[in-house]
Protein backbone atom coordinates (compact mmCIF):
# COMPACT_ATOMS: atom_id res chain seq x y z
CA UNK A 1 0.00 0.00 0.00
CA UNK A 2 0.89 3.63 -0.28
CA UNK A 3 2.15 4.10 3.23
CA UNK A 4 4.64 1.26 3.06
CA UNK A 5 5.81 2.41 -0.35
CA UNK A 6 6.33 5.92 0.91
CA UNK A 7 8.14 4.55 3.89
CA UNK A 8 10.39 2.63 1.54
CA UNK A 9 11.20 5.74 -0.48
CA UNK A 10 12.02 7.66 2.65
CA UNK A 11 14.21 4.79 3.70
CA UNK A 12 16.24 4.65 0.51
CA UNK A 13 16.46 8.41 0.35
CA UNK A 14 17.94 8.58 3.75
CA UNK A 15 20.12 5.58 3.27
CA UNK A 16 18.16 4.00 6.08
CA UNK A 17 18.60 0.41 5.01
CA UNK A 18 22.32 0.49 5.64
CA UNK A 19 24.76 1.99 8.04
CA UNK A 20 26.59 4.69 6.11
CA UNK A 21 29.35 7.18 6.64
CA UNK A 22 26.83 9.95 7.23
CA UNK A 23 24.32 8.22 9.45
CA UNK A 24 27.02 6.78 11.70
CA UNK A 25 29.36 9.77 11.99
CA UNK A 26 27.55 11.46 14.82
CA UNK A 27 26.93 8.23 16.70
CA UNK A 28 30.58 7.28 16.39
CA UNK A 29 31.56 10.65 17.80
CA UNK A 30 29.42 9.84 20.83
CA UNK A 31 31.00 6.41 21.18
CA UNK A 32 34.42 8.00 21.00
CA UNK A 33 33.46 10.43 23.73
CA UNK A 34 32.14 7.63 25.91
CA UNK A 35 35.43 5.76 25.55
CA UNK A 36 37.53 8.81 26.34
CA UNK A 37 35.34 9.46 29.36
CA UNK A 38 35.97 5.89 30.45
CA UNK A 39 39.66 6.87 30.41
CA UNK A 40 40.68 4.66 27.51
CA UNK A 41 44.01 5.71 25.96
CA UNK A 42 43.66 7.59 22.67
CA UNK A 43 45.48 5.11 20.39
CA UNK A 44 43.21 2.35 21.63
CA UNK A 45 40.15 4.52 21.04
CA UNK A 46 41.28 5.32 17.50
CA UNK A 47 41.88 1.72 16.60
CA UNK A 48 38.56 0.68 18.03
CA UNK A 49 36.53 3.34 16.24
CA UNK A 50 38.22 2.46 12.95
CA UNK A 51 37.34 -1.20 13.48
CA UNK A 52 33.70 -0.43 14.29
CA UNK A 53 33.45 1.79 11.24
CA UNK A 54 34.85 -0.92 9.03
CA UNK A 55 32.44 -3.50 10.43
CA UNK A 56 29.43 -1.23 10.50
CA UNK A 57 29.56 0.42 7.11
CA UNK A 58 27.34 -1.35 4.70
CA UNK A 59 25.85 -3.59 7.36
CA UNK A 60 22.21 -4.21 6.61
CA UNK A 61 19.87 -2.70 9.10
CA UNK A 62 17.28 -5.24 10.12
CA UNK A 63 13.89 -3.70 9.41
CA UNK A 64 12.87 -3.54 13.05
CA UNK A 65 15.97 -1.56 13.91
CA UNK A 66 17.01 2.00 13.33
CA UNK A 67 20.59 2.60 12.19
CA UNK A 68 21.23 3.93 15.67
CA UNK A 69 20.20 0.66 17.26
CA UNK A 70 22.12 -1.34 14.70
CA UNK A 71 25.27 0.63 15.37
CA UNK A 72 24.95 0.16 19.10
CA UNK A 73 24.77 -3.56 18.38
CA UNK A 74 27.99 -3.42 16.35
CA UNK A 75 29.75 -1.38 19.02
CA UNK A 76 28.78 -3.70 21.82
CA UNK A 77 29.73 -6.77 19.83
CA UNK A 78 33.12 -5.36 18.79
CA UNK A 79 33.93 -4.07 22.25
CA UNK A 80 33.04 -7.45 23.71
CA UNK A 81 35.31 -9.08 21.16
CA UNK A 82 38.13 -6.71 21.95
CA UNK A 83 37.70 -7.45 25.65
CA UNK A 84 38.18 -11.10 24.83
CA UNK A 85 34.69 -12.52 24.27
CA UNK A 86 35.98 -14.05 21.03
CA UNK A 87 38.83 -15.85 22.75
CA UNK A 88 36.40 -18.34 24.27
CA UNK A 89 36.04 -19.53 27.84
CA UNK A 90 39.33 -21.43 27.80
CA UNK A 91 41.35 -18.25 27.43
CA UNK A 92 40.49 -17.18 30.96
CA UNK A 93 41.73 -20.43 32.48
CA UNK A 94 45.14 -20.79 34.04
CA UNK A 95 47.34 -23.36 32.40
CA UNK A 96 48.96 -26.11 34.46
CA UNK A 97 50.46 -27.95 31.50
CA UNK A 98 53.93 -28.01 32.93
CA UNK A 99 55.85 -30.71 34.76
CA UNK A 100 54.69 -29.87 38.32
CA UNK A 101 54.94 -27.45 39.85
CA UNK A 102 53.17 -25.15 37.42
CA UNK A 103 54.85 -21.80 37.99
CA UNK A 104 52.94 -18.53 38.02
CA UNK A 105 55.04 -15.36 37.86
CA UNK A 106 53.45 -12.08 38.91
CA UNK A 107 54.55 -8.83 37.24
CA UNK A 108 53.48 -5.22 37.60
CA UNK A 109 54.15 -1.86 39.20
CA UNK A 110 54.23 -1.32 42.94
CA UNK A 111 50.90 -0.99 44.69
CA UNK A 112 48.80 -2.46 41.89
CA UNK A 113 47.89 -5.48 44.01
CA UNK A 114 50.39 -8.23 43.11
CA UNK A 115 50.89 -9.56 46.62
CA UNK A 116 47.18 -9.43 47.38
CA UNK A 117 46.48 -11.24 44.10
CA UNK A 118 48.98 -13.98 45.00
CA UNK A 119 46.92 -14.59 48.13
CA UNK A 120 43.67 -14.57 46.15
CA UNK A 121 45.06 -16.95 43.54
CA UNK A 122 46.44 -19.30 46.19
CA UNK A 123 43.01 -19.40 47.81
CA UNK A 124 41.25 -19.97 44.48
CA UNK A 125 43.67 -22.71 43.39
CA UNK A 126 43.51 -24.42 46.73
CA UNK A 127 39.74 -24.32 47.16
CA UNK A 128 38.42 -24.49 43.59
CA UNK A 129 41.16 -26.47 41.87
CA UNK A 130 42.29 -28.56 44.84
CA UNK A 131 45.94 -27.73 44.20
CA UNK A 132 48.81 -27.84 46.66
CA UNK A 133 50.18 -24.31 46.45
CA UNK A 134 53.51 -22.77 47.49
CA UNK A 135 54.15 -19.02 47.43
CA UNK A 136 57.46 -17.15 47.50
CA UNK A 137 58.42 -13.48 47.50
CA UNK A 138 61.24 -12.22 45.30
CA UNK A 139 60.57 -8.67 46.47
CA UNK A 140 63.85 -8.01 48.26
CA UNK A 141 63.61 -4.23 48.34
CA UNK A 142 61.01 -3.78 51.01
CA UNK A 143 61.41 -6.10 54.00
CA UNK A 144 57.73 -5.65 54.78
CA UNK A 145 56.85 -7.11 51.38
CA UNK A 146 58.06 -10.61 52.29
CA UNK A 147 56.20 -10.49 55.62
CA UNK A 148 53.06 -9.32 53.80
CA UNK A 149 53.14 -12.32 51.48
CA UNK A 150 53.77 -14.65 54.41
CA UNK A 151 50.72 -13.20 56.13
CA UNK A 152 48.32 -13.49 53.18
CA UNK A 153 49.59 -17.00 52.44
CA UNK A 154 48.92 -18.05 56.03
CA UNK A 155 45.44 -16.52 55.84
CA UNK A 156 44.49 -18.76 52.94
CA UNK A 157 46.25 -21.80 54.37
CA UNK A 158 48.76 -22.31 51.55
CA UNK A 159 52.47 -23.01 52.01
CA UNK A 160 55.05 -20.26 52.12
CA UNK A 161 58.74 -20.46 51.16
CA UNK A 162 60.69 -17.96 53.28
CA UNK A 163 63.17 -15.62 51.61
CA UNK A 164 65.26 -12.75 52.94
CA UNK A 165 66.13 -9.30 51.67
CA UNK A 166 69.76 -10.42 51.32
CA UNK A 167 68.95 -13.04 48.68
CA UNK A 168 68.96 -12.45 44.94
CA UNK A 169 65.56 -12.76 43.21
CA UNK A 170 66.77 -15.44 40.77
CA UNK A 171 68.27 -17.51 43.63
CA UNK A 172 65.06 -17.17 45.62
CA UNK A 173 62.97 -18.38 42.71
CA UNK A 174 65.24 -21.37 42.04
CA UNK A 175 65.39 -22.36 45.71
CA UNK A 176 61.60 -22.19 45.97
CA UNK A 177 61.24 -24.28 42.82
CA UNK A 178 63.58 -26.89 44.26
CA UNK A 179 61.58 -26.98 47.50
CA UNK A 180 58.30 -27.20 45.64
CA UNK A 181 59.53 -30.20 43.63
CA UNK A 182 60.73 -32.00 46.74
CA UNK A 183 57.49 -31.38 48.60
CA UNK A 184 55.18 -32.14 45.69
CA UNK A 185 53.59 -28.75 45.31
CA UNK A 186 51.47 -28.55 42.20
CA UNK A 187 51.64 -24.77 41.85
CA UNK A 188 54.37 -22.27 42.75
CA UNK A 189 53.39 -18.60 42.71
CA UNK A 190 56.28 -16.14 42.57
CA UNK A 191 55.58 -12.61 43.82
CA UNK A 192 57.94 -9.91 42.58
CA UNK A 193 58.97 -6.36 43.37
CA UNK A 194 57.36 -3.46 41.59
CA UNK A 195 58.56 0.11 41.22
CA UNK A 196 56.54 3.26 41.17
CA UNK A 197 57.42 3.86 37.56
CA UNK A 198 58.75 1.80 34.70
CA UNK A 199 62.34 0.97 35.57
CA UNK A 200 65.02 -0.69 33.48
CA UNK A 201 66.61 -2.55 36.40
CA UNK A 202 63.26 -3.97 37.49
CA UNK A 203 62.55 -5.20 33.97
CA UNK A 204 65.93 -6.89 33.74
CA UNK A 205 65.46 -8.51 37.12
CA UNK A 206 62.03 -9.95 36.42
CA UNK A 207 63.15 -11.08 32.95
CA UNK A 208 66.04 -12.93 34.65
CA UNK A 209 63.62 -14.64 37.06
CA UNK A 210 61.47 -15.58 34.09
CA UNK A 211 64.47 -17.03 32.24
CA UNK A 212 65.57 -19.03 35.26
CA UNK A 213 62.29 -20.78 36.09
CA UNK A 214 60.33 -20.60 32.79
CA UNK A 215 56.86 -20.08 34.24
CA UNK A 216 53.83 -21.47 32.42
CA UNK A 217 51.90 -18.34 33.40
CA UNK A 218 53.30 -14.83 33.50
CA UNK A 219 50.52 -12.58 34.73
CA UNK A 220 50.64 -8.84 34.28
CA UNK A 221 48.83 -7.23 37.20
CA UNK A 222 47.36 -3.81 36.48
CA UNK A 223 45.30 -1.41 38.53
CA UNK A 224 42.01 -0.46 36.84
CA UNK A 225 42.23 2.95 38.47
CA UNK A 226 45.31 3.69 36.32
CA UNK A 227 42.99 4.45 33.42
CA UNK A 228 44.82 5.49 30.27
CA UNK A 229 48.22 5.43 32.01
CA UNK A 230 47.90 1.66 31.95
CA UNK A 231 48.91 1.74 28.30
CA UNK A 232 52.55 2.70 28.99
CA UNK A 233 53.04 0.17 31.78
CA UNK A 234 51.44 -2.54 29.70
CA UNK A 235 53.76 -1.76 26.81
CA UNK A 236 56.90 -1.89 28.97
CA UNK A 237 55.98 -5.22 30.60
CA UNK A 238 54.75 -6.70 27.34
CA UNK A 239 58.06 -5.83 25.68
CA UNK A 240 60.14 -7.25 28.53
CA UNK A 241 58.24 -10.48 29.21
CA UNK A 242 56.23 -13.05 27.26
CA UNK A 243 53.02 -12.37 29.18
CA UNK A 244 50.35 -15.06 29.19
CA UNK A 245 47.56 -13.10 30.80
CA UNK A 246 46.39 -10.07 32.73
CA UNK A 247 44.83 -9.53 36.15
CA UNK A 248 42.85 -6.29 36.39
CA UNK A 249 42.65 -5.19 40.03
CA UNK A 250 40.56 -2.69 41.96
CA UNK A 251 37.56 -2.96 39.69
CA UNK A 252 35.50 -2.25 42.78
CA UNK A 253 36.71 1.35 42.55
CA UNK A 254 35.20 4.20 40.59
CA UNK A 255 36.95 3.48 37.32
CA UNK A 256 34.93 2.81 34.22
CA UNK A 257 37.44 0.19 33.20
CA UNK A 258 39.18 2.08 30.41
CA UNK A 259 42.44 0.41 31.48
CA UNK A 260 41.09 -2.93 30.31
CA UNK A 261 40.72 -1.73 26.74
CA UNK A 262 44.15 -0.12 26.70
CA UNK A 263 45.83 -3.23 28.07
CA UNK A 264 44.07 -5.51 25.61
CA UNK A 265 45.01 -3.13 22.80
CA UNK A 266 48.71 -3.34 23.71
CA UNK A 267 49.16 -6.94 24.84
CA UNK A 268 46.43 -8.85 23.04
CA UNK A 269 46.60 -11.22 26.01
CA UNK A 270 43.46 -12.45 27.76
CA UNK A 271 42.41 -10.72 30.96
CA UNK A 272 42.01 -13.77 33.15
CA UNK A 273 40.90 -12.37 36.48
CA UNK A 274 39.44 -9.27 38.03
CA UNK A 275 40.19 -8.08 41.56
CA UNK A 276 37.03 -6.74 43.16
CA UNK A 277 37.98 -6.12 46.78
CA UNK A 278 40.89 -5.92 49.17
CA UNK A 279 39.78 -9.18 50.75
CA UNK A 280 41.28 -12.47 49.69
CA UNK A 281 38.01 -13.77 48.27
CA UNK A 282 37.76 -10.70 46.03
CA UNK A 283 38.84 -12.39 42.81
CA UNK A 284 36.51 -13.09 39.88
CA UNK A 285 36.86 -14.68 36.48
CA UNK A 286 36.97 -11.82 34.01
CA UNK A 287 33.74 -11.29 32.06
CA UNK A 288 34.51 -9.58 28.69
CA UNK A 289 30.97 -8.62 27.75
CA UNK A 290 30.20 -7.18 31.16
CA UNK A 291 33.37 -5.11 30.94
CA UNK A 292 32.43 -3.92 27.46
CA UNK A 293 29.11 -2.69 28.79
CA UNK A 294 30.77 -1.05 31.75
CA UNK A 295 33.23 0.79 29.53
CA UNK A 296 30.60 1.89 27.12
CA UNK A 297 28.10 2.76 29.80
CA UNK A 298 25.94 4.31 27.16
CA UNK A 299 24.98 1.12 25.33
CA UNK A 300 22.07 0.17 27.51
CA UNK A 301 21.14 3.77 28.01
CA UNK A 302 20.79 4.26 24.28
CA UNK A 303 18.56 1.23 24.08
CA UNK A 304 16.45 2.56 26.92
CA UNK A 305 16.13 5.99 25.43
CA UNK A 306 15.22 4.56 22.06
CA UNK A 307 12.63 2.26 23.51
CA UNK A 308 11.21 4.87 25.81
CA UNK A 309 10.88 7.13 22.81
CA UNK A 310 9.34 4.57 20.57
CA UNK A 311 6.33 3.06 22.14
CA UNK A 312 5.74 1.99 25.67
CA UNK A 313 5.07 4.86 27.96
CA UNK A 314 5.41 7.62 25.41
CA UNK A 315 3.72 10.08 27.70
CA UNK A 316 6.16 9.52 30.53
CA UNK A 317 9.03 9.62 28.08
CA UNK A 318 7.75 12.89 26.65
CA UNK A 319 7.48 14.31 30.16
CA UNK A 320 10.98 13.22 30.90
CA UNK A 321 12.28 14.65 27.64
CA UNK A 322 10.48 17.92 28.34
CA UNK A 323 11.93 18.02 31.82
CA UNK A 324 15.45 17.40 30.60
CA UNK A 325 15.05 19.86 27.75
CA UNK A 326 13.78 22.64 29.96
CA UNK A 327 16.97 22.27 31.98
CA UNK A 328 15.25 20.26 34.68
CA UNK A 329 17.46 17.80 36.46
CA UNK A 330 17.25 14.12 35.72
CA UNK A 331 17.00 12.70 39.22
CA UNK A 332 16.78 9.36 40.92
CA UNK A 333 12.98 9.31 40.64
CA UNK A 334 13.32 9.53 36.88
CA UNK A 335 15.96 6.84 36.98
CA UNK A 336 13.61 4.54 38.84
CA UNK A 337 10.83 5.30 36.38
CA UNK A 338 13.17 4.31 33.56
CA UNK A 339 14.03 1.05 35.24
CA UNK A 340 10.35 0.36 35.76
CA UNK A 341 9.70 1.08 32.09
CA UNK A 342 12.39 -1.29 31.12
CA UNK A 343 10.70 -3.96 33.15
CA UNK A 344 7.45 -3.24 31.33
CA UNK A 345 9.18 -3.75 28.02
CA UNK A 346 10.01 -7.28 29.02
CA UNK A 347 13.17 -6.54 30.94
CA UNK A 348 16.65 -7.13 29.62
CA UNK A 349 15.65 -10.04 27.47
CA UNK A 350 12.93 -7.91 25.94
CA UNK A 351 15.50 -5.38 24.90
CA UNK A 352 17.82 -8.06 23.70
CA UNK A 353 15.18 -9.29 21.28
CA UNK A 354 15.54 -6.03 19.44
CA UNK A 355 19.26 -6.32 18.85
CA UNK A 356 20.93 -8.01 15.87
CA UNK A 357 21.09 -11.78 15.92
CA UNK A 358 24.88 -11.94 16.28
CA UNK A 359 24.64 -9.93 19.46
CA UNK A 360 21.81 -12.04 20.82
CA UNK A 361 24.00 -15.06 20.41
CA UNK A 362 26.90 -13.42 22.21
CA UNK A 363 24.80 -12.71 25.29
CA UNK A 364 24.06 -15.91 27.08
CA UNK A 365 20.88 -16.51 29.03
CA UNK A 366 22.78 -16.52 32.31
CA UNK A 367 24.02 -12.98 31.74
CA UNK A 368 20.51 -11.76 31.17
CA UNK A 369 19.30 -13.31 34.37
CA UNK A 370 22.11 -11.59 36.16
CA UNK A 371 21.29 -8.28 34.55
CA UNK A 372 17.65 -8.58 35.60
CA UNK A 373 18.67 -9.36 39.14
CA UNK A 374 20.92 -6.33 39.04
CA UNK A 375 18.02 -4.13 37.98
CA UNK A 376 15.84 -5.48 40.78
CA UNK A 377 18.58 -4.72 43.26
CA UNK A 378 18.95 -1.22 41.88
CA UNK A 379 15.26 -0.60 42.33
CA UNK A 380 15.61 -1.97 45.87
CA UNK A 381 18.37 0.52 46.58
CA UNK A 382 16.38 3.44 45.19
CA UNK A 383 13.37 2.33 47.22
CA UNK A 384 15.31 2.57 50.44
CA UNK A 385 16.22 6.20 49.78
CA UNK A 386 14.19 9.08 51.11
CA UNK A 387 12.41 11.33 48.58
CA UNK A 388 14.98 14.05 49.28
CA UNK A 389 17.85 11.71 48.60
CA UNK A 390 16.24 10.67 45.35
CA UNK A 391 15.84 14.26 44.27
CA UNK A 392 19.40 15.14 45.32
CA UNK A 393 21.59 12.04 45.22
CA UNK A 394 24.67 14.22 45.70
CA UNK A 395 23.56 14.59 49.34
CA UNK A 396 24.19 10.92 49.95
CA UNK A 397 27.32 10.70 52.07
CA UNK A 398 28.84 7.71 53.86
CA UNK A 399 26.38 7.40 56.77
CA UNK A 400 23.38 7.63 54.46
CA UNK A 401 24.94 5.11 52.12
CA UNK A 402 25.28 2.65 54.98
CA UNK A 403 21.66 3.16 55.94
CA UNK A 404 20.49 2.72 52.35
CA UNK A 405 22.62 -0.39 51.92
CA UNK A 406 21.21 -1.88 55.11
CA UNK A 407 17.68 -1.01 53.99
CA UNK A 408 18.15 -2.69 50.62
CA UNK A 409 20.08 -5.62 52.04
CA UNK A 410 23.16 -4.98 49.89
CA UNK A 411 26.79 -3.95 50.41
CA UNK A 412 27.70 -0.28 50.52
CA UNK A 413 29.83 -0.86 47.43
CA UNK A 414 26.75 -1.76 45.49
CA UNK A 415 25.14 1.51 46.52
CA UNK A 416 28.29 3.28 45.32
CA UNK A 417 28.17 1.46 42.02
CA UNK A 418 24.54 2.36 41.54
CA UNK A 419 25.21 6.02 42.30
CA UNK A 420 28.07 5.98 39.77
CA UNK A 421 25.85 4.46 37.13
CA UNK A 422 23.25 7.05 37.88
CA UNK A 423 25.79 9.82 37.51
CA UNK A 424 26.86 8.49 34.13
CA UNK A 425 23.26 8.40 33.08
CA UNK A 426 22.76 11.95 34.29
CA UNK A 427 25.73 13.10 32.20
CA UNK A 428 24.34 11.27 29.22
CA UNK A 429 20.94 12.88 29.73
CA UNK A 430 22.57 16.28 29.85
CA UNK A 431 24.20 15.59 26.50
CA UNK A 432 20.94 14.38 25.04
CA UNK A 433 19.15 17.48 26.22
CA UNK A 434 21.37 19.46 23.88
CA UNK A 435 19.34 17.77 21.20
CA UNK A 436 22.33 15.96 19.72
CA UNK A 437 21.79 12.28 19.92
CA UNK A 438 18.07 12.25 20.50
CA UNK A 439 17.37 14.58 17.63
CA UNK A 440 19.58 12.59 15.38
CA UNK A 441 17.96 9.31 16.31
CA UNK A 442 14.55 10.72 15.71
CA UNK A 443 15.54 11.94 12.26
CA UNK A 444 17.10 8.61 11.40
CA UNK A 445 13.90 6.87 12.19
CA UNK A 446 12.09 8.86 9.49
P1 LIG B 1 51.70 -4.82 45.25
O2 LIG B 1 52.62 -3.70 45.65
O3 LIG B 1 51.52 -4.87 43.77
O4 LIG B 1 52.12 -6.12 45.83
O5 LIG B 1 50.27 -4.44 45.86
P6 LIG B 1 49.54 -4.99 47.17
O7 LIG B 1 49.06 -6.37 46.96
O8 LIG B 1 50.41 -4.75 48.36
O9 LIG B 1 48.26 -4.05 47.21
C10 LIG B 1 48.32 -2.64 47.31
C11 LIG B 1 47.02 -2.12 47.89
O12 LIG B 1 45.96 -2.38 47.01
C13 LIG B 1 46.64 -2.81 49.19
O14 LIG B 1 46.10 -1.85 50.08
C15 LIG B 1 45.57 -3.82 48.77
O16 LIG B 1 44.67 -4.09 49.82
C17 LIG B 1 44.91 -3.07 47.66
N18 LIG B 1 44.23 -3.97 46.68
C19 LIG B 1 44.77 -4.98 45.97
N20 LIG B 1 43.85 -5.53 45.14
C21 LIG B 1 42.70 -4.85 45.32
C22 LIG B 1 41.38 -4.92 44.75
O23 LIG B 1 41.06 -5.73 43.87
N24 LIG B 1 40.46 -4.03 45.22
C25 LIG B 1 40.79 -3.09 46.16
N26 LIG B 1 39.83 -2.25 46.55
N27 LIG B 1 42.01 -2.99 46.70
C28 LIG B 1 42.95 -3.84 46.30
MG1 LIG C 1 53.85 -6.63 46.82
Among 216-225, 241-250, 335-344, the range scoring the smallest mean pLDDT is: 335-344
Taking 90 as the threshold, does the pLDDT of residue 11 lie above it? no
In angstroms, what is the span from residue 212 Cα to ligand 1's centroid?
27
Residue 162: closest CA among 185, 138, 186: 138
Report helix, strand or coil for 238. helix
384-409 per-position pLDDT tens digit: 888 888 888 888 888 889 888 888 88
Q: Among all ligands shown, which has an atom nearest to the Cα of 141?
A: 2
The whole-angstrom separation of Cα 146 and Cα 191 is 9
Ligand 1 contact via 276 beta carbon (within 6 Å)? yes
Final residue of a domain: which of 242, 275, 293? 293
In this structure, the answer to whether residues 73 and 117 fall within a common structural domain is no
Residue 78: closest CA among 101, 49, 105, 112: 49
Taking 50 as the threshold, does the pLDDT of residue 441 lie above it? no
pLDDT value of position 369: 63
178 is known to lie in a ligand binding site: no
Cβ(79)–Cβ(292) below 8 Å: yes
Among 74-78, 266-270, 438-442, the range scoring the smallest mean pLDDT is: 438-442
Domain count, the chain: 3
In this structure, the answer to whether residues 194 and 130 fall within a common structural domain is yes
Taking 90 as the threshold, does the pLDDT of residue 237 lie above it? yes
Q: Among all ligands shown, which has an atom nearest to the Cα of 281?
A: 1
Ligand 1 contact via 264 beta carbon (within 6 Å)? no
Instruction: Give the residue, 23 or 348, on which the prediction is more confident.
Output: 23
108 is known to lie in a ligand binding site: yes
Pairing relationship of beta strands 102-107 and 245-249 according to DSSP bridges: unpaired
Cβ(415)–Cβ(381) below 8 Å: yes
Among 48-52, 70-74, 198-202, the range scoring the smallest mean pLDDT is: 70-74
In this structure, the answer to whether residues 97 and 238 fall within a common structural domain is yes
Helices and strands counted in the chain (H then E): 21, 8
In this structure, the answer to whether residues 68 and 150 fall within a common structural domain is no
Residues with CB under 5 A from ligand 2 (ion): 114-115, 145
pLDDT value of position 446: 34
The whole-angstrom separation of Cα 160 and Cα 151 is 9
In this structure, the answer to whether residues 252 and 104 fall within a common structural domain is yes
Given pLDDT bands bounded at 50, 70 and 90, which one contains residue 160?
very high
In this structure, the answer to whether residues 334 and 412 fall within a common structural domain is yes
Query: Quick one: 128 exposed, middle or buried, by C-beta within 10 A (0-12, 13-18, 19+)?
Result: exposed
In angstroms, what is the span from residue 364 Cα to ligand 2's centroid?
37
In this structure, the answer to whether residues 264 and 306 fall within a common structural domain is no
In angstroms, what is the span from residue 100 Cα to ligand 2's centroid?
25
Could you tell me the residue range of the domain that residue 311 belongs to? 297-446
We report the CATH number of the domain holding residue 328 as 1.10.260.30
100-143 per-position pLDDT tens digit: 999 999 999 999 999 999 999 999 999 999 999 999 999 998 87
Phi first, then psi, for residue 56 (nearest 5°) are: -80, -40
Taking 50 as the threshold, does the pLDDT of residue 28 lie above it? yes
- Strand ordering across the sheet containing 133-137: 159-161, 133-137, 187-191, 102-107, 217-223, 245-249, 271-275, 283-285
Final residue of a domain: which of 293, 324, 356? 293
**Considering the chain, what is the average pLDDT of its residues?**
79
172-186 per-position pLDDT tens digit: 999 999 999 999 999
In this structure, the answer to whether residues 350 and 275 fall within a common structural domain is no
Ligand 1 contact via 114 beta carbon (within 6 Å)? yes
In this structure, the answer to whether residues 113 and 38 fall within a common structural domain is no
pLDDT value of position 303: 47
Final residue of a domain: which of 49, 83, 117? 83
Ligand 1 contact via 119 beta carbon (within 6 Å)? no
Phi first, then psi, for residue 189 (nearest 5°) are: -105, 125
Quick one: average pLDDT of 134-158?
Answer: 95
Taking 80 as the threshold, does the pLDDT of residue 220 lie above it? yes
110 is known to lie in a ligand binding site: yes
Taking the CA of residue 112 as reference, the ligand 1 atom at the shortest distance is 3
pLDDT > 70: what percent of the chain?
A: 73
We report the CATH number of the domain holding residue 97 as 3.40.50.300
Taking 80 as the threshold, does the pLDDT of residue 325 lie above it? no
Instruction: Give the residue, 406 or 150, on which the prediction is more confident.
Output: 150
pTM of the model: 0.67
Ligand 1 contact via 278 beta carbon (within 6 Å)? yes
In this structure, the answer to whether residues 429 and 344 fall within a common structural domain is yes
Ligand 1 contact via 137 beta carbon (within 6 Å)? no
Taking the CA of residue 276 as reference, the ligand 1 atom at the shortest distance is 23
273-321 per-position pLDDT tens digit: 999 999 999 999 998 888 887 777 644 444 444 444 454 445 555 666 6
In angstroms, what is the span from residue 278 Cα to ligand 2's centroid?
13
Cβ(138)–Cβ(191) below 8 Å: yes
Instruction: Give the residue, 82 or 58, on which the prediction is more confident.
Output: 82
434 is known to lie in a ligand binding site: no
In this structure, the answer to whether residues 124 and 77 fall within a common structural domain is no
Quick one: average pLDDT of 16-35?
Answer: 75
Instruction: Give the residue, 440 or 222, on which the prediction is more confident.
Output: 222
Quick one: average pLDDT of 336-351?
Answer: 61
147's CB contacts (< 8 A; 6+ apart) are none
pLDDT > 90: what percent of the chain?
A: 37
Residue 39: closest CA among 216, 172, 251, 229: 229
The whole-angstrom separation of Cα 107 and Cα 32 is 31
In this structure, the answer to whether residues 42 and 164 fall within a common structural domain is no
Q: How many CA atoms lie within 13 A of 200 on its CB side?
A: 0
Report helix, strand or coil for 102. strand
Taking 80 as the threshold, does the pLDDT of residue 94 lie above it? yes
The whole-angstrom separation of Cα 405 and Cα 418 is 11
Q: Among all ligands shown, which has an atom nearest to the Cα of 112?
A: 1
Phi first, then psi, for residue 406 (nearest 5°) are: -60, -40
Would you give the distance in Å from CA 211 to the centre of its chain? 32
Q: How many CA atoms lie within 13 A of 326 on its CB side?
A: 7
252 is known to lie in a ligand binding site: yes
Ligand 1 contact via 279 beta carbon (within 6 Å)? no
pLDDT value of position 8: 42
Given pLDDT bands bounded at 50, 70 and 90, which one contains residue 2?
very low
We report the CATH number of the domain holding residue 77 as 1.20.120.140
In angstroms, what is the span from residue 191 Cα to ligand 2's centroid?
7
229's CB contacts (< 8 A; 6+ apart) are none
Instruction: Give the residue, 5 or 154, on which the prediction is more confident.
Output: 154
Instruction: Give the residue, 263 or 74, on which the prediction is more confident.
Output: 263
14's CB contacts (< 8 A; 6+ apart) are 23, 444, 446
Residue bearing the CA closest to ligand 1, atom 28: 278
Which of 105, 109, 116, 139 has most ligand 1 atoms within 8 Å of CB, for mutation?
A: 116
Quick one: average pLDDT of 12-20?
Answer: 57
Quick one: average pLDDT of 12-26?
Answer: 64
Taking 80 as the threshold, does the pLDDT of residue 262 lie above it? yes
DSSP letter (8 states) at residue 85: G
pLDDT value of position 188: 98
Taking the CA of residue 282 as reference, the ligand 1 atom at the shortest distance is 23
Q: Among all ligands shown, which has an atom nearest to the Cα of 145?
A: 2
369's CB contacts (< 8 A; 6+ apart) are none
Amino acid sequence: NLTTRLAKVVKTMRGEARLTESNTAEMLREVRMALLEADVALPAVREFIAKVKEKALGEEVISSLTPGQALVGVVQRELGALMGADLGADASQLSFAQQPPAIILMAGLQGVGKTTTVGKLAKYLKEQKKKKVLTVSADVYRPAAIAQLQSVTAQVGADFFPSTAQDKPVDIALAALDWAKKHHHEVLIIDTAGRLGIDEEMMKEIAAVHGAVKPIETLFVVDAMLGQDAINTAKAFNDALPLTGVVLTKLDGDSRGGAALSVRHITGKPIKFAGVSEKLDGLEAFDPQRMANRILGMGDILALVEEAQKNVDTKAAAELAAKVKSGGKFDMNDFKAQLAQMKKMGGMSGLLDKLPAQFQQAASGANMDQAEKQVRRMVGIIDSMTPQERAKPELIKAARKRRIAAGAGVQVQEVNRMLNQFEQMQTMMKKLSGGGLMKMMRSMKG
